[in-house]
Structure 1
């Protein structure tokens, strides 16, 4: 005899995931297919991370996971359990802007501002990556995954180079900043 017990549809099943975002542990009940971008924006209210292309091609959704720049639209939230996630809201510390944020402000490295959070997150990560040199060409290459439709690239590059001597060494603490 056939068993007519059916499993619930995949979209009805949720799982508990605990994300560490900007140094704070945040338990969430999510469907397994929820991407990190949607969990951050829709469930945690961290709207600094922008939804751009949803295909990992524009960089607007860039966050840092364990200090590395990652397109949050391509990463399932459940995959991030146990990792340190930093969003643009978590760059500033103790009321002080991160050197990249300060340099973007001083260099007017934004126009419409839509790509700015992703640009800042990538810039902060590249300044901590010893594999990336400090020439303009190497910085441009490292930032090539972040698109600015307004064309503020010259000022973005200048801001990154200005922030270089002021960037903080990687923090071994649990908040990823």
Structure 2
């Protein structure tokens, strides 16, 4: 009985030490906060062969999950200031089937690669107009030559998943309104 109690005490003492080790590791390697969501997003979308809208949603969901994990880890140790704000950068895969690819994302700003912008000037105009109509969008910049669009938005009260759904809805509407 005494051994069982001492065993549980030892186990309880190791858990906080493990949490502290994780926090210290993240402090020393704060770039992991940017790399892990991207890496896992690429692995998941590649493994399940997701493209276009589905890949966008999966990447946004993974970024949101990791963001919440890092927020919770920061709450465990208030001195964990070395962990930077969430930022996601994805290098687009050379895939012609992909409709939308997140190139870069930080809270309040997202850049998407959309090959159709380069090929279809009317689509680019419709996207820009529809995005400007959205209440969360602050500014939109379309670069047709680079086939990319930068969207600045109000991030308060808008989860990454909600943002993804809004953007997909707008892009689908722009495609349908030919």
TM-score for both structures, normalised by structure 2 = 0.23
Which is higher, the Rg of structure 1 or of structure 2? 2
TM-score for both structures, normalised by structure 1 = 0.23
Q: Which has the higher contact order (CA 8 A, sep 6+)?
A: 1
